[in-house]
Structure 1
Amino acid sequence: MEFDVVQGDIAAQSADALVNAAGTSLEMGSGVAGALRREAGEEINREAMEKGPVDLGEAAVTDAYDLDAEYVIHAAAMPHYGDGQATAESVREATRNAFETADDLDCRSLVLPALGCGVAGFDVAEGAAIIAEVIDDYEPETLEDVRLIAYSDEEYDEIRAATGRAETSEMTDAGEADR
C-alpha cells in the first residue's frame, strides 16, 4: 500500500473515499467535518446524523454527494463535540476502522486527516505517528493509495516529520498529487 503525506484541502481531494474526523454524534460541525459539509452540501450532515451516534473509535459511511469521491467515512476519534478530547487509543481505533471500512467498500484510494488532532485537541505529531503505525501494520485487501492530508504548512511539516516520510508530493488546485 502506497502512503503519502500531502498538503491541501480535504474537500478538494479526489479518491474513492474521504475520511471525516468525526465525533461520536457524527454531527458535522467545524474543522474537517465543516469543510466536507460545505463542499458536499447539507445532505451529508443529515445522512451522517441518521447513522449516529457511534461508539468512540467506530466508523460510519455516507454518500460523498458533491465531493469528488464515492464515500465519506466518518471515523469517530473524539467523543461528541464538547464532551472530551481524543486519546491515543481512539485515534488508533478510528484509523483502523476507517481502513477496514474502506476495504469493505472495495476502495482503492483513501484520503484522511490527522484524526483527533484538530478540534479534538490531540497532539498532531503524536497522532500522525499513531496513524503511520496503523498504516504500516495494516494489511489491505483493496486499498492501494492512502494519503494523509494536512491543511497548513506547519501541520504538513509536523506530520511529515512524525511519520518519517521524506518530502512528498505537492498538491495542485484540483487535489491530485503531482507525480
Structure 2
Amino acid sequence: MKIEIQKSDIIEIATDAIVNAANTSLLGGGGVDGAIHRKGGKQILEECVAIRNRQGGCDVGQAVITTAGNLPSKFVIHTVGPVWNGDKEEKKKLLADCYRNSLELALQNNIKTIAFPNISTGIYHFPKDKAAEIAIKTVKEFPRKEEFEKIIFVCFDDENYDLYKALLA
C-alpha cells in the first residue's frame, strides 16, 4: 500500500473513490462539499437525498457512499467531520472515526484507491496540524490498509501540503 500526498483539487483526482467532507444533511454546502456537488452533478445529490430518506442524514464521524456522477472518480464517500469546539478529545476521536469509517466503507465496496481531503480544517476550524497528525496516524494504523493499492491525501492549500509532507517524510 502506497501513501501519497498531492497539492491539488480533489474534484480532479481519478481514483476509485474520493472522500467528501460533508455535513450531516448530505445536501451539499461550502468548500470541498460544495465543489463535489457542483462538479459531480445531480446524481450525487439524488443519491444523498435517498440516503437521507432512508436513514436521516449522516452522523459526525460516520460515512456513506454514492456514485461520483460527473467526477473522474467512481465513488464519493461522504463523511461528516467534527466542528472544533467543546470537548477536544472527543473531536479528535470523531475525526479519526471519519478516516476509519471511510476506509471500512471503501473496502466493503472493493475500492483500492482512495483520496482524502483535509477533513474539518476549513469552516469547521479543526487545527490543521492536529488534523494532519490524526489523518496520517489513523491511515497508518488501519488494520486492513494493505488491501488498498494507494491512499492519497489531497491538500488544497500550501499550509496543509507542507504539514502532510513533513509528517510523511
TM-score range (shorter-chain normalised) is 0.7 to 0.9
- The CA distance in 2 between the partners of 1:113 and 1:125, in whole Å, is 14
- The CA distance in 1 between the partners of 2:163 and 2:150, in whole Å, is 21
Aligned to 2:11: 11
The unaligned stretches of length 5 or more in structure 1 are: 80-84, 167-179
- Tell whether the 8 Å contact from 2:4 to 2:151 is kept in structure 1 after alignment: yes
Choose between structure 1 and 2: higher helix proportion: 2
RMSD: 1.8
Task: After the TM superposition, list the runs of 4 or more consecutive aligned residues in structure 1 that deviate by more than 3 angstroms.
Answer: none
Matches within 5 A, 1:85-100: 87-100=91-104
Report how far residue 141 of structure 1 moved: 6.1
Aligned length: 159
Deviations 1:93-145 (A, max 9, x none): 01100000111111110001111111211011101100111111112363120
What TM-score does the superposition give when structure 2 sets the normalisation length? 0.87
| 1:125 and 2:140 are equivalent in the alignment | no
Report how far residue 42 of structure 1 moved: 2.7
- The CA distance in 2 between the partners of 1:67 and 1:10, in whole Å, is 10
Report how far residue 156 of structure 1 moved: 1.0
Aligned to 1:173: none
Deviations 1:26-82 (A, max 9, x none): 121111111111211133123213313122211011110111111100011136xxx
1:165 aligned to which of 156, 165, 168: 168
Aligned to 1:77: 81
Identity over aligned pairs, percent? 30
Aligned to 1:68: 72
Q: Which moved more, 1:31-40 or 1:41-50?
A: 41-50
- The CA distance in 2 between the partners of 1:71 and 1:147, in whole Å, is 15
- The CA distance in 1 between the partners of 2:129 and 2:49, in whole Å, is 30
The unaligned stretches of length 5 or more in structure 2 are: none
- Tell whether the 8 Å contact from 1:107 to 1:142 is kept in structure 2 after alignment: no
